A = this chain, B = another copy of it.
Amino acid sequence: MPISFARRMNLLRRSEIREILKLTQKKEMISFAGGLPAPELFPVEKMKKIAVSILEEQGNEALQYSTTEGYEPLREKIAERMNRKFQTTVRKEHILITCGSQQALDFSGKLFLDEDDIVLCESPTYLAAISAFNAYAPKFIAVKTDDEGMILEELEKVLTSQKRIKLIYVIPDFQNPTGKTWSLKRRVAFMALVSKYEIPIIEDNPYGELRFEHKILPSLKSMDTKGLVIFTSTFSKTFCPGLRIGWIAAEPELFERYVRIKQGADLCTSIRNQMEIAKFIDVYDFESHIGKLVELYRSRRDVMIEMLQATLPEGVTFTHPEGGLFLWLELPKQMKAIQLLEDCLENNVAFIPGDSFFPNGGVTNTLRLNYSNMPEEKIREGIRRLSKAIKEYSAR
């Protein structure tokens, strides 16, 4: 008799992105596949000073077990920054520190989902959220989404016809994978609609502070009158993913349950790493650090868009993200992104086919491009190779 696994393991496949990323580790590869921040902007020198001063001033505390909720001064700073940037009114009591915001997604699945419960999400949606939730074996309904956000007529149809909806998962700011941002009008109407139902909403916002133009729009959490919105974000995009510090902001009834889940899952997050970020915010100008990221990513986005406009054949469209790390490209219907990827890998340029961002499949002609991790010259050359491959494919 072979070892018997939990049923959920049938749903947990190896991440396709991860498999593609392995192929992209060749030196000569130009990769738009990952979602990595630009390492040249990691504040390495400053982190050296911070690391030493934390160990000097609070060494014993920094290396010991800590509370499940997280390091209070960091929770306080996160609340203050959220309120200033996303117009929320949260306090440190609402903030739970997690190991990156991926952990917040896993915990949300654990908190809400029994087998065959329904998760509503955008179409497409974030691939790794699908993996996180799949561990709890739900069904997904991907609600049609346009340039302003989820289409509310479609959403309402689902809300009124389905009984087991347990969770709505959305990424209103510079969505992964499309780079699109919900309009203010859509946000307001969305919250008005969903507030009639007592369904929790995960507002996943890892990229919101990386806005290249215009002002940050009010978050869904800022319009939440019923305590339904669970806001999650991370320092992985604005600071350093290697520290693995993200957070959940949730109302007390939810917060207290997330704490119980974290107790069972990993007891606590590295307090030393939390102390370092809190100290960095105290000692250095965090906003100017983010300013540098915004400047760099904006110029990389500009170069990518300029090159796409100059080189793509007709019939291929793409998004114009106002921030974040990704843009989204749509090929003519008859073309398969997975086929194109094979051609591209031969020519040393990589991307992620959009297929796996649709939880129920069915779309095969889209792809995600990351612009944060490659220098401008490589973006130029990479897009030249991509466009050439598209033209050759379409000529076949």
Contact = CB atoms under 8 A, between A and B. Distances in A.
Interface of A: 1-9, 12-15, 18, 36-37, 39-40, 42, 44, 47-48, 51-52, 55-56, 59-66, 68, 98-100, 102-103, 106, 110-114, 117, 128, 131-132, 134-136, 166, 197-200, 228, 236, 240-244, 253-254, 256-257, 259-261, 263-273
Contact of A65 (B2, B236, B268): B236
Contacts of A103: 265-266
Contact of A111 (B6, B40, B197): B6
Nearest to A136: B6
Contacts of A2: 198
Contact of A63 (B8, B39, B110): B39
Contacts of A110: 6, 8, 135
A320 B188 CA distance: 65
Contacts of A266: 98-100, 102-103, 106, 244
A317 B110 CA distance: 41
Contact of A44 (B1, B18, B60, B134): B60
A151 to B, nearest CB: 24
* Nearest 10 Cβ contacts at the A-B interface: A44-B59, A63-B240, A39-B60, A63-B242, A131-B264, A51-B51, A42-B63, A103-B266, A65-B241, A99-B266
- Copy number of this protein in the oligomer? 2
Contacts of A40: 60
Given A51-B51, A131-B264, 10 more contacts: A6-B113, A48-B55, A51-B55, A63-B241, A65-B236, A65-B242, A99-B244, A99-B266, A103-B266, A132-B264
A198 B3 contact: yes
A51 B259 CA distance: 30
A14 B60 contact: no
Nearest to A265: B106
Contacts of A51: 48, 51-52, 55
Nearest to A9: B257
B244 A269 contact: yes
25 contacts: A1-B198, A4-B198, A6-B113, A14-B263, A15-B260, A42-B60, A42-B63, A44-B55, A44-B63, A47-B59, A48-B56, A51-B51, A102-B264, A103-B266, A106-B264, A110-B135, A128-B263, A128-B267, A131-B263, A131-B264, A132-B264, A135-B261, A242-B272, A244-B268, A270-B273
A192 to B, nearest CB: 18
Contacts of A198: 1-4
